[in-house]
Amino acid sequence: MFPRLRLLVHIAAKHLLVRRRQTAVAVSGVAVGVGFFLAVSAMMVGSQTDFVKTLIDAAPHIIVSDELRSPRPQPGVAAFAKEGAVELHGFKVRTEVRGIKDWQEMLREIDAIPGAIASPSLSGAVTMRLGGRDEALAVIGIDPSIESRVSTISDKLRTGRLIDLERVQGGVIIGEDQAQRLGLGMGDVVSATSARGGTRSLRIVGLFKKGQQVGSGVGYMLLREAQSLLGRPFVINRIGVKLADPYSAEDVAARLEARHGYKAQSWQERSADFLGLLVTRNVIMYTVVSAILLVASFGIYTAVSNSVTDKKRDIAIMRSMGFSQGDLQAVFVMEGMALAVAGVFAGWLLGYVLMSVLGSLNFSIQGEVRHLPLDRSSRQYLIAASASLVAGIVAAWLPARKTARVDPVDILRGAV
């Protein structure tokens, strides 16, 4: 078997080396296909990874809020359930105190998950009043040392630090556009009024950058001070959870919700629409780049097809010598494989160069220098190689079948 294979490889190699130009064209076709596949998919996958990372990090992986997905059963319904009551009318709906009730226990439970951090917070609406102007502000009370580990809000600060909230009595961090609107700067004092609490003086200790989701109309305060400003001592209504593995968020959220009843929203649930878009985007990308690879394999088809046509006489003479049809098909399929393999290696090189060029480009977004996010994993190289090899073998096999139709008798008698 082995000497036979070696002989067939020898013949295939000779065919390719004699027809250098056609070989070069077919190889460069595959190389360009593989190279651009790598460049395009690196950008697409890279930007997607970048996007998902932004999506994951934009907010805690899971947000538990004091909302319920469906109202709690009323005590009356529960009481008469045994008697077979199906519906009850005219009972007085019990007033529930808003807020997460068993939050301390919930925090302990989340902290028991390895690598998980839970940050309790209380949010509520206040009105900032300055010089006769009213401005609504959603206040979020946090524990700065925990919150900074759960979310990325500290990265979004233009000036000040999150920890300054603990140092300054009544400290607050608001968005820089809002501060600008009110004519406020660092260290300025503004009064804030809530519906149930009283009025307090707040001192600005930090400003969020413009154009960030977190910054507009939102003010961060110390949890304790927010509770007192909003008149809801010891109450929290939101727990942000960060997990070691963001992709387990859905399971953990479902578990928390089943246990405690409060709505626990994972980042996947929050951004289901975006994730759906990504699927569409991937389908489009792989369709386009597969087309590139497919077109590249046409070069192999042409090269092998021409080779078979040119070599009809040699096919006939080899048949008369005692080569089988399988031998000759194998010769031409191997020619296609060799073209594909050479093309893949050249394409890897081209792709690597393209990626290096793309990676070195600088883009300026809002004064920040950024590079294109690129996925340079070996996975892309392997996908490109295997797709090209399969396409190349098929593209060679189709014309190689023609060798079976070469009738040695016709050729040997009529040939010149």
Partner 1 sequence: MLVAEGLTRELPGDPPVTLVAGADLAIEPGKFTAIVGPSGCGKSSLLYLLGLIDRPTAGRLLLERRDVSPLSGDERARTRLERFGFVFQFHFLLPEFNALENVMMPIRRLGRLSLAQAEARARELLGFMGLAGKAEKSPDKLSGGERQRVAIARALANDPLLVLGDEPTGNLDSVNSARVVDLFRSLAHEQGRAVVCVTHDPGIAEVADIRVSMLDGRISEVRRQG
Site for partner 1 (CB under 8 A): which residue of 103, 301, 323, 332? 323
Piece of 13-21, 29-37, 65-73, 383-391 that binds partner 1 (CB under 8 A)? 13-21
Cα–Cα distance for residue pair 307/414, rounded to 1 Å: 20
Site for partner 1 in 274-313 (CB under 8 A): 313
Amino acid in position 392: G
Of the pair 147, 327, the CB lying nearest partner 1 is at 327
**Residue 250 touching partner 1 (CB under 8 A):** no
Judged by CB under 8 A, the residue of 319, 347, 354, 393 near partner 1 is 319
Identity of the residue, 283 or 415, whose beta carbon is nearer to partner 1 in the bound complex: 415
Q: How is residue 154 written in tokens?
A: 């500290």
Stretch that binds partner 1, among 5-13, 99-107, 130-138, 236-244 (CB under 8 A): 5-13
Tell me the helix, strand and coil percentages in the chain, rounded to 5: 55, 20, 25
Residue nearer to partner 1 on the CB measure, 211 or 326: 326
Helix, coil or strand: residue 32: helix
Between 6 and 370, name the residue whose CB sits nearer to partner 1: 6
**Rounded to the nearest 5 degrees, what angle is found at the Cα of 277, between the Cα atoms of 272 and 278?**
95
Does residue 71 bind partner 1 (CB under 8 A)? no
What is each CA distance from 290 to 347, 365, 375, 384, 391, in whole angstroms? 14, 32, 18, 9, 10
> Taking contact as CB under 8 A, which single stretch among the options 36-44, 93-101, 183-191, 314-322 is the one that binds partner 1?
314-322
Q: Is 318 in the site for partner 1 (CB under 8 A)?
A: yes
Which residue among 164, 177, 250, 314 contacts partner 1 (CB under 8 A)?
A: 314
Handedness of CA 330, 334, 340, 345 (dihedral sign): positive
Binding piece for partner 1, criterion CB under 8 A, among 14-22, 289-297, 335-343, 393-401: 14-22
| End-to-end alpha carbon distance in the chain | 34
Which residue lies nearer to partner 1 by CB, 260 or 311?
311
Residues 373-412 that bind partner 1 (CB under 8 A): 408-409, 412
Is residue 331 within 8 Å of 8, Cβ to Cβ? yes
Asked if 74 and 88 touch (Cβ cutoff 8 Å), the reply is yes
Residues with Cβ within 8 Å of residue 25, at least 6 apart in sequence = 299, 303
Q: Is 317 in the site for partner 1 (CB under 8 A)?
A: yes
Among 326, 357, 371, 386, binds partner 1 (CB under 8 A): 326
Binding segment for partner 1 (CB under 8 A), chosen from 9-17, 42-50, 135-143, 206-214, is 9-17
In sequence order, the 6+-apart residues with CB closer than 8 A to the CB of 135 are: 127, 128, 129, 178, 181, 182
7 binds partner 1 (CB under 8 A): yes
Q: Closer to partner 1 at the Cβ: 97 or 416?
A: 416
415 binds partner 1, rule: CB under 8 A = yes
138 vs 412 by CB, closer to partner 1: 412
d(CA 388, CA 289) in angstroms, rounded, equals: 11
Structure token digits, residue 97: 């105190």
Under rule CB under 8 A, residue 414 binds partner 1: no
Is the Cβ–Cβ distance between 6 and 332 less than 8 Å? no
Q: Shortest CA distance to 257 belongs to which of 272, 269, 274? A: 269
Instruction: Please report how close the Cβ of residue 392 comes to partner 1 at its closest, in angstroms.
Output: 22
- Binding residues (CB under 8 A) for partner 1: these are 3-4, 6-7, 11, 14-15, 17-18, 313-314, 317-327, 408-409, 412-413, 415-416
